[in-house]
Structures are given as structure tokens and as C-alpha cells.
Structure 1
Amino acid sequence: MTQGERVKEIRKALGLTLEKFGQKLGVGKTAISKIEKGENSLTEQMTISICREYKVNYDYLTYGDGEMFEDLPETILDELCIEYDLDDDDRDILNFYLGLPADARDAIKKQIKKIFVKE
């Protein structure tokens, strides 16, 4: 399988159109299409961008070795922790909060608003 074919396989696995896949990489759908078809080579810069933006395994994309994706977050909470650079304490607090009944969450929100919102 060529690098271009692997790019297409990755894009399809993510459920993205050529346009959506390229947007995050700063290129148009034509550029992605030409890479997938083998008309244009996959540059090192584009390889790095794909790996970074879509959590793709570099060795898979470059050589066809290993798993397609790096370790993906297992939950939405994991994704939030990665996106906002949250540590284990932050994660535990969020997890605890999310497990509370609605009335308890409302009470916490009221207290937080008292602290941060000047009335």
C-alpha cells in the first residue's frame, strides 16, 4: 500500500471528506486528492501535520508499520484533558462533578458564581 493509499484509508477511517481532512492541515481538497491518487508525493511536513492533527502513527503513515492511530482517548473526558492540558487532579474533579446528581451540581455552580461573578 502506498503512502497516498494510507492517507485515504486514514481519512476514511476518520469519516472525513477531502475538504474537511485538508482544512485542519491548511490545504485544499485537491491537494489531498492528488496525494491519495499518488499524483503528488507526501512531504515530510505534511506527514508530520497529519500525524499531529489526527493522532496518526508516524511509522504507519510513512512505512505501513504498526497501528494506524496512536493511543486515542477512550472517553470524552480524556479528550478534554488532552485538549485543555488538564492534570490528574483536574480530571478527578471533573469526573466527580459529572457523577453528582443535578441538584448537587446546581449548588456547586451557585457557589462558583458567587466567587467569580460580581453582583
Structure 2
Amino acid sequence: MEDNVQIRIAKVREKLNKSQDDFGTALGVTKSTISLLETQKREPSERLLRDICREFNVNEDWLRTGAGGEENMFISDDIQYFQNVGKLGQEKNEFKKFYLNMMMGLPDEYWDYIYKEFKKFEDKKEE
């Protein structure tokens, strides 16, 4: 069986350990749509390919072509960081821009304090 985009979509879903239903829900499509893709009875739309990459941090080049093999399936944390920073330029929420720009201007000693405070929120969320 030739490795194509539909097979790579199935590999992403399996690597994430998601059911077809959960995978489809995260993408705003039905379980049936995912099943039809994985059985190669339907071609994915451009939007769906972009949504898979965005939602699950999948390397778009790998998803479309298989370039780099399965170890190239997901984008690295460094690339994710740069993509998120790049999104800031397109952000419509002025508070987010203001907040992030303000944070970048803080002295290093403030970062330790902020980190500890954010960890409190994360710890409470896990309780």
C-alpha cells in the first residue's frame, strides 16, 4: 500500500492515540469523514489539511509529502514557539499584544516570580 496523505492522516491520529470520533471532533468533522479519508474513499480538503496541522502541530510538509519520514511528523517545540510568536503580528486582540510586549521588557528576576505564580494556576487546575 502506497504511503499517501490519507495514510499519513491515519498515522497522525494513531500516534496521538485518538479515536476517529475524537480526532474528527477536534477538527469539526464527523467520524465518518475521518473513516472515509483513512480508507482512501475521500480526498482531504485543503482546509482540513491545514486544520490537522494547526490543531495537532503536524508538520505540513510531512503530511502532504511524507518528507523526512515519520520522525518528521510533528513540528518541534522551537518551531511551534516561532510560529506562535509570528501569530502575534496578526493578533486582533490589542491586550494580548500589549501584554506580551510588556512581558518581554521585564527584567529577568521578574520572570521567576511570574513563573511561580503561573505554576499555582496549573497546580490548581490539576486538582
TM-score by length of 1: 0.63
Q: CA deviation at 1:71?
A: 1.6
Return the alpha-carbon distance in structure 2 between the equivalents of residues 97 and 54 of structure 1: 28
Look up the match of 1:71: 76
Q: Deviations over 1:51-106 (max 9, x none)?
A: 11111111101010131011237xxxx8xx98x8874947x756545558xxxx7x
Q: Return the letter of the residue paired with 1:10.
A: V
Is the aligned partner of 1:31 residue 2:33? yes
Q: Secondary structure at the match of 1:40?
A: coil
Is the aligned partner of 1:43 residue 2:45? yes
Q: Deviations over 1:3-26 (max 9, x none)?
A: 111001101111111111111111
Could you say which structure has the larger radius of gyration?
A: 1
Gaps of 5+ in 1: 106-119
The count of residues paired between Structure 1 and Structure 2 equals: 94
Return the alpha-carbon distance in structure 2 between the equivalents of residues 26 and 95 of structure 1: 39
Return the alpha-carbon distance in structure 2 between the equivalents of residues 72 and 21 of structure 1: 22
CA RMSD of aligned residues (A): 3.1
TM-score by length of 2: 0.60
Q: Report matched runs for 1:1-119 at 5 Å.
A: 1-66=3-68, 67-72=72-77, 87=100, 89=103, 95-99=112-116
Return the alpha-carbon distance in structure 1 between the equivalents of residues 112 and 43 of structure 2: 44
Gaps of 5+ in 2: 86-95, 121-127
Q: Which runs of 4+ in 1 moved over 6 A?
A: none
